[in-house]
Chains A and B, each alone.
Chain A
Amino acid sequence: MAAELHVALVAADREVWSGEATLVVARTTSGDIGVMPGHQPLLGVLESGPVTIRTSDGGTVVAAVHGGFISFADNKLSLLAEIAELSDEIDVQRAERELERAKAEGDAAAERRADVRLRAATAR
């Protein structure tokens, strides 16, 4: 059995996902980072972007994360986000509408949020 790491994806008001994984890829402010079991203890600032979690049973969990932190120690990885959504919770049509609206209004933050949602939803 491959080594595993315990992942907890936590939003400010709920625990979004937790379980065992073999690889987690997230986007920090200085670029994408992949964490596998046995990684050096790490604490980083996340950009909003999709987070990919390869679970130990071979599945993949994708979540849209908007700002937050990644921290890893003792094979325990926590992803803290103010807002986090799993890809299958994302309403694609709504996100598309949001994207259109944000583009029309020139709201860069909203556009980025909708874009991250869509990318997470399509990466599933």
Chain B
Amino acid sequence: MGAQLRVYKRRIRSVTATKKITKAMEMIAASRVIKAQRKVAASAPYAKELTRAVTAVGTGSNTKHPLTTQAETVRRSAVLLLTSDRGLAGAFNSNAIKAAEQLTARLERAGQEVDVYIVGRRGVAHYNFRERKISESWTGFTDEPTYADAKKVAGPLIEAIEKDTAEGGVDELHIVFTEFVSMMTQTALDDRLLPLSLEEVAKEAAPKGEILPLYDFEPSAEDVLDALLPRYVESRIYNALLQSAASKHAATRRAMKSATDNAGELITTLSRLANAARQAEITQEISEIVGGSAALADATAGSDR
């Protein structure tokens, strides 16, 4: 076998192996998307009831709470960026990071300091590489986030917002995550999580102008709100984590699908080239034989004479 043909054969083998791997990853991602979507759906009843309850307290009492009071001048904001631990997901992480950087730039233009909180190893790596300050980061659960993880993330953020800005606290909390629109579409977007505007929550809970009853609060409206708001923030973060996970799996699936397609194309091209090389080799051999026999015939004809 000729040297060139051997090179082609080797490359075809290696690309075939790669294709098998990407195909397997595509299938794994596809099953994980469905699982993640199911988790998003399973968390919906809790989120819905919680939103209703928050609305009920918000409209039923005039209670003030640090999580709902808008600071007159916002001096420092926290940005929570949700990325994934692992790559191989196309533009998933870079889109989220880009959205976070745009938001950061916007906030800084408005004269605010920005504290960055990051979930996911990819985002952490991006910021570390550029030697930018990360206030806090969490990794290791982005593929399958649990409620306990959301609690872990929410804790320091709520603490930061309850602290005075002068002592290192923040006035606003923004979240950047990837919304799962459909299997084909996932969009990175930013959202202001805190301070919570109760009017907006109310609009979300009862879009058709449903009138909420006057609740009796047990033990008191303040205590209920105190307990309710952190849970609400946790549930929002939990939802964002779940959507990010689903989006990440969908992005991986798509990236791996195109990798598989590309590998297939590459294999076709390489086999064509290998065939041509083999054919060229055969042709060369034949012409060598023909040439050789012709030379031989010439030689014998010459000696006959």
Contacts and interface: CB of A to CB of B under 8 A. Distances in A.
Q: Is the interface of A mostly helix, strand, loop or mixed?
A: strand
B218 A71 contact: no
Contacts of B279: none
A78 interface: yes
Interface string B208-228: 000011111111000110011
A110 interface: no
A42 B56 CA distance: 10
Contact of B219 (A15, A45, A78): A45
Q: How large is the interface on A (under 10, 10 to 19, 20 to 34, 35 or more residues)?
A: 20 to 34
A45 B49 contact: no
A56 interface: no
Contacts, number: 88
Interface in A1-47: 8, 10-15, 28-30, 33, 40-45
> Most B CB atoms within 10 A — which of A40, A45, A70, A74?
A45
A69 to B, nearest CB: 6
A73 interface: yes
A28 B223 CA distance: 12
A32 to B, nearest CB: 11
Contacts of B50: 69, 80
Interface stretch (B38-46, B67-75, B155-163): B38-46
A88 interface: no
A11 B46 contact: yes
A80 B147 CA distance: 14
A104 B17 CA distance: 54
Interface in A45-92: 45, 68-71, 73-74, 78, 80, 82
